[in-house]
Chain A
Amino acid sequence: MNTSVTVQPARWAGGARARRLARSPVLRLAGRRILTAIPVLWGVTLLTFITLSALPGDAASALLGINATPAELRAFRIKLHLNEPFWVRYGHWLGGALTGNLGTSFSGGQSVASTIGQRLPVTLELVIYAMVITMVVSVPLAVLCARRPRGIIDRLSMVLSMASISIAPYVLALLLVIVFAVDTSIFPAIGYQSIGAGLAGNLRDVTLPSIILALPLIGFYTRFLRGDLLEQMQSEDYIVTARAKGLSDWQILTRHALRNSFIGLMTVIGLNLATLIGVTVIVEQIFSLPGIGYELLQSISNRNVPVVEGIVLVFGAAVVLANLVTDLLYSVLDPRIRHVRSR
């Protein structure tokens, strides 16, 4: 907390305002986190580049196939600068990326930015839809569990959530496809229709994949939130106060404990995002959804380095951004955190 208040005559009002803003702990936290995010993102791109270069095979042999002549391969490599040393290629890519140019795809020559722009909305829709399903189910469920710990709802949902955490996404996908696509054909088994072509059709296509993404999260968040709620109800002074002023247990749970538990839940969501993105790769593959994960898998096996780099950069930025937003919300919601200087 800033306690040293030295009153200075303000030279101009805007300056004073800027200074006050600069002292705001939330903004300073944001600034610091953005600064530390830059080396992290750089490390992510370097790690990707090293991995792709160290693996046997390259884009030329992957894209031209096994029938290509050595002369064709050599010409292709020269065209894509694959014959240059590692650091030159990485430097070239990094220089482009820093000026906002992510390069062009090795296959087809489309720009990486437009490829990502085309594919990202599909994945975003999946992730957002899955998060909505997760929240709608797990928050009320956790409150019901915490209402009567060890009651019938509690035990049943704890068993089910353990199962939903433990089930493999591909098994779940097969199961749901059989029930909803093969037996009853409520939802299609594969394929994708963009939102532009009709919202109803689009939602039909992404519902099953989103449920598969959501189910393990529902189990995980329900367990987490329930545990946190119970801890709040057990030990916190404000619960005693609320009870003393005559609020019902239900009101205490939903108005007071739940609000505090949300702070913990947010951290977990922020940390989970990387895993969630990983699972979208599998789910998009199973359902043939033209999302960013589908593109990524293809680009990895084609050694299409610029596309892989671009997508990994987007993933990394998403995770860093999510953690940043979590931290900021944290300090906005909980004044105690805002005023303690973090190391």
Chain B
Amino acid sequence: MSVPADLITTAPVPDTAAPFGPFGTAGRVPGWARSLEIVIPGAILAALLFFCFIWPLVYPVPKPIGGSLLTPHLPLWSPGHILGTDIVGDDVMSRILYGGRVSFEVAAAVQVIGLVIGGSLGMAAAYRGGWVEAVLMRILDVFLAFPSLVLVLAIADGLGPSETHVIWALSFFSIPAFARVARAATLRLRDQPFVVASRLSGSRPLTIMFRHLVPNMWPQLLTFSLLGASLTIILEGALDFLGYGIPPPAASWGNMIASGQQLISVYPSFVVVPSVFLLVTAICLNVLGDGLRARWGTR
């Protein structure tokens, strides 16, 4: 091959090198422009959060349910209804915003539950070691071997569709996942000199965990929860799609896709619009998680 041998060795490692972009790796560019793979998804997510949670409070958007039956399936860009109206005359834009609230709330709640319960279990067990860790590891193995979706479906089916039940059902995904990550991070940190020094100087285990272990592993847990949030949003939609999620007429992106499915050949926008929002949100969370992981050098 004609490529000189040193070309590949000197090529920057993509994951850790400066980001690509119009500015390349040249010197005089503002700081934010050098991390576009963090800034762009971050900005899009911030905008989505703003429009879902704050915009309806300051601007009179139409109600997500109880629209006028006289104006059903208006096309996109209709006056007063930017994204048109659905089959019963509800404003699609407003349903997207309120449905987005559900998606973000579920994603955030599931990650927080996983982080608090799973993270502290994993950390405490790994720090304590011995039989506690052995028992936790076996329980984690059970969850690993268990197709979690089965549990999620069983819980969602048994408890009936509602946002709270969806959150608890999906937490069965996040708790063992966070426990695994926290355990691995704790094992890595446990015998580091600064932790040993702290232990020798008489700090109590709780102090060591929250003063020394948590600050050292939170970047890893944060990037992990961003990637997890993207998965949660997709799974929440899957539950809606299978009829175990947020019950209509309340709006969620998943149940908008599910109900638009029947009319997809006539009004494809009923499926396309919520799908695009779902896809953009998931991509942004994934890119942001990857970008932060590369920047912080965590694995």
Residue numbers of A with Cβ under 8 A of B are 36, 39-41, 43-44, 47-48, 51-52, 54-57, 149-150, 154-155, 162-163, 165-171, 174, 178, 182, 227, 230-231, 233-234, 243, 248-250, 274, 277-279, 281-282, 285, 296-297, 300-301, 308, 312, 315-316, 319-320
Q: How far is the CB of A297 from chain B (nearest CB, A)?
A: 7
CB distance from A333 to the nearest CB of B (A): 22
- Among residues 153 to 173 in chain B, which have CB atoms less than 8 Å away from a CB atom of chain A? 153-155, 157-159
> Cβ of B286 < 8 Å from any Cβ of A?
yes
The answer to whether B157 touches A301, judged by C-beta atoms less than 8 angstroms apart, is yes
Q: Is B175 an interface residue (CB 8 A)?
A: no
| A52 B149 Cβ-Cβ under 8 A | no
A250 to B287 Cα, complex, angstroms: 30
Q: Looking across the interface, which residue of chain B has its beta carbon closest to that of A233?
A: B8
Closest-by-CB residue of A relative to B275 is A171
B147 and A163 within 8 A (CB)? no
The answer on a CB contact under 8 Å between B149 and A278 is: yes
Known: A55-B155, A230-B13, A243-B5. A171 touches B149 (CB 8 A): no
Assess the A167–B279 pair: CB atoms within 8 A: yes
Q: Which residues of B5-39 are within 8 A (CB) of A?
A: 5, 7-9, 11-15, 20
Q: How far is the CA of A302 from the CA of B141 in the complex (A)?
A: 28
Segment with Cβ contacts to A, from B63-71, B86-94, B119-127, B234-242? B234-242
Besides the known contacts A166-B279, A171-B278, 16 further A-B residue pairs in the complex with CB atoms under 8 A apart:
A39-B138, A41-B145, A43-B141, A44-B142, A51-B154, A149-B11, A167-B279, A168-B234, A169-B234, A169-B238, A171-B279, A249-B8, A281-B153, A282-B149, A296-B150, A312-B147
CB neighbors of A among B121-148 (8 A) = 138-139, 141-142, 144-148
Using Cβ atoms and an 8 Å threshold, which residues of chain B touch A230? 13-14
Q: Is the CB–CB distance between B257 and A312 below 8 Å?
A: no
Report whether B145 and A274 are in contact in the complex, using a CB–CB cutoff of 8 Å. Answer: yes
List 27 A–B pairs whose Cβ atoms lie within 8 Å, in order of A's numbering: A36-B138, A39-B138, A40-B142, A43-B139, A43-B142, A47-B146, A55-B159, A149-B11, A150-B12, A150-B20, A162-B286, A162-B287, A165-B286, A166-B285, A170-B257, A230-B14, A233-B9, A234-B13, A243-B5, A249-B1, A249-B5, A281-B150, A282-B149, A285-B242, A297-B153, A316-B145, A319-B147
Taking Cβ atoms with an 8 Å cutoff, the residues of B that contact A are: 1, 3, 5, 7-9, 11-15, 20, 138-139, 141-142, 144-151, 153-155, 157-159, 230, 234, 237-238, 241-242, 257-258, 261, 264-265, 268, 271, 275, 278-279, 282-283, 285-287, 290
Whose C-beta in chain A lies nearest to the C-beta of B241?
Answer: A170
B20 touches A249 (CB 8 A): no
Docked complex Cα distance between A162 and B138 (Å) = 33
**Highest count of chain B CB atoms <10 Å: which of A40, A41, A243:** A40
CA of A209 to CA of B168, assembled, Å: 29
Of A47, A234, A300, the contact of B153 (CB 8 Å cutoff)? A300
Distance of A270 Cα from B200 Cα, bound (Å):
41
Say yes or no: B15 contacts A274, CB within 8 Å. no
Known: A43-B142, A171-B275. A278 touches B150 (CB 8 A): yes
Which residue from A40, A41, A57, A315 sits with its C-beta under 8 Å from B158?
A: A57
A40 touches B141 (CB 8 A): yes
In Å, the complex CA distance between A278 and B283 comes to 21
Does A170 contact B13, Cβ atoms closer than 8 Å? no
